[in-house]
Structure 1
Amino acid sequence: MILTSCSSSSSSSDDESDDDEYIVTLLGAYEQNNTSMLQILKSSDSSKKIGGSVVGHRYIHRDRRQGHDRLFADYFAANPVYSPTIFRRRFRMRCPLYLRILNAIQAHNSYFVQKQDAAYVLGLSPLQKMTSVMRILSYGIAADAVDDYIRIGESTAIQSWQQICNSVIEIFGEEYLKSPMPTDITTLLASGEVRGFPGMLGNLDRMHWE
């Protein structure tokens, strides 16, 4: 499923209203898409022959649907468990921006389109793949640390990380991954000075500042 884009507004209050309407519309379509996919899978012929397991690999059953449903209810539902403030702290961005990036990546890279596996079971959702990557990037945790919550294997989390990084570079690289213009430098220096860091153009991490 491809999420639709959201239009911008002139005021912050209008932005918040538009964002709320945008999220409700997108996520309603997202849930409807998942329901349709499950109905298709239930009506498919389960007697079809499928391939066997990889020799030497230990199979771990993961309830992928449970992982998606929990993630969706916690952060992306119309009335999520966690507030927008917590979302921004944990994802390092606001929810509408997160969904816009996911929308662009889905349109660009088919890896993030939800599919069936060899057993005709619905695979990981785009939200699960991208959220696992955001947790790894935001917190610097190991790839297998997101498995117990998102229900995604270590190798898949690493592959998702590689796919997202490549997609972001290909989609947004020309606009955002370039040397700053003189006006950008002026803005960044002024912002740093206001925050008590005169002469600072950018920073990698604030954890060493006392």
Structure 2
Amino acid sequence: MVTLLGVYEQNNSSMLQILKSSDSSKKISGSVVGHRYICRDRRQGHDRLFADYFAVNPMYSPTIFRRRFRMRRPLYLRILNAIQAHNSYFVQKQDAADVVGLSPLQKMTSAMRILSYGVAADAVDDYIRIEESTAIQSLQQFCNLVIEIFGVEYLRSSTPTDIARLLAIGEVRGFPGKAPPVHYTINGHSYDIGYYFADGIYPQWATLVQTISSPQ
């Protein structure tokens, strides 16, 4: 969760700025004169998405799920349950004509695909069956709710307790909390401190050499 939300905060800040700076006076209110109505068959979009990733025996494996959603399925469902409980936008509804709207899976997955792949809002329509304006609205709602629900716990600076806990976990996995003693010479200069290669998300510490300044 820490990694996921950290990525959202760092890599998608520009996306949030674009959403917040958009013309808030524009409101979606029914059909627009001159626009052709497309019967997207929302139910088919939900059924296919469910069968692909969320069924008891889904078409795609957990490994593929993690690669495409940038997280494991239990974490995805945890976030989905949290935002559903917090805001009714992600609760499936029926309109006045008893037509069932988009499912929570469709709305959240459209937001996740836009964030994960950096694609345009209408790029997810043909798979998820969601129009561009609704995809943008889902993305904005999703980003705001993630910050609102998880921001206090995860979108903050690390405390000494957090660092100690993460170092302990890293040590169990083979990444020592303290650098081992070393001594080497480069270009006639002697050094007695080791270093690790890292990317731009890590702090500016002497033991971390940031070889990748802008990770994608």
Q: TM-score, normalised by structure 1?
A: 0.66
Between the aligned partners of 1:132 and 1:112, the Cα distance in structure 2 is 12
- For 1:58, the aligned partner's letter is R
* 1:38-187 matched pairs, under 5 angstroms: 53-185=31-163, 187=166
Residue matched to 1:206: 215
Normalising by structure 2, we get a TM-score of: 0.64
Change (3 A) 1:184 1:171: same
After superposition, the C-alpha distances for 1:140-187 in whole angstroms (9 at most, x for unaligned) are 111000000000000000000010111111111110111111344564
Over 3 Å counting, the alpha-carbon distance change for 1:205 and 1:74 in structure 2 is: farther
Query: Aligned partners of 1:184, 1:199: CA distance in 2, in Å?
Result: 20
Is the 1:185–1:201 Cα contact (8 Å) retained in structure 2? Answer: no
- Cα distance change on mapping 1:117 and 1:84 into 2, 3 Å: same
Q: Distance in 2 between the 1:103 and 1:206 partners? A: 30
Give the Cα–Cα distance (whole angstroms) in 2 for the partners of residues 52 and 182 of structure 1. Answer: 52
Distance in 2 separating the partners of 1:65 and 1:198: 42
CA-to-partner distance for each residue in 1:114-164, whole Å, 9 max, x for gaps?
Answer: 011343210000000000000001111110000000000000000000101
Q: Between Structure 1 and Structure 2, which shows a larger proportion of helix residues? A: 1
Q: C-alpha deviations, 1:75-110, integer Å up to 9, x for none?
A: 000000000000000000000110010000000010
Aligned length: 156
Structure 1 residues 93 and 195: CA distance shift in structure 2, 3 A: farther
Query: Comparing both structures, which one devotes a greater share of its residues to strand?
Result: 2
Task: Report if the CA contact (8 A) 1:133-1:160 is conserved.
Answer: yes
Deviation at 1:55, TM superposition (A): 2.5
Q: How much identity, in percent, do the aligned residues show?
A: 77
Structure 2, unmatched stretches of 5+, are 1-28, 180-194, 204-211
**Whose RCO is larger (CA < 8 A, sep 6+)?**
1
- Residue identity opposite 1:197 in structure 2: A
SS at match of 1:197: strand
Q: Do 1:129 and 1:157's aligned partners in 2 also have CA atoms closer than 8 Å?
A: yes
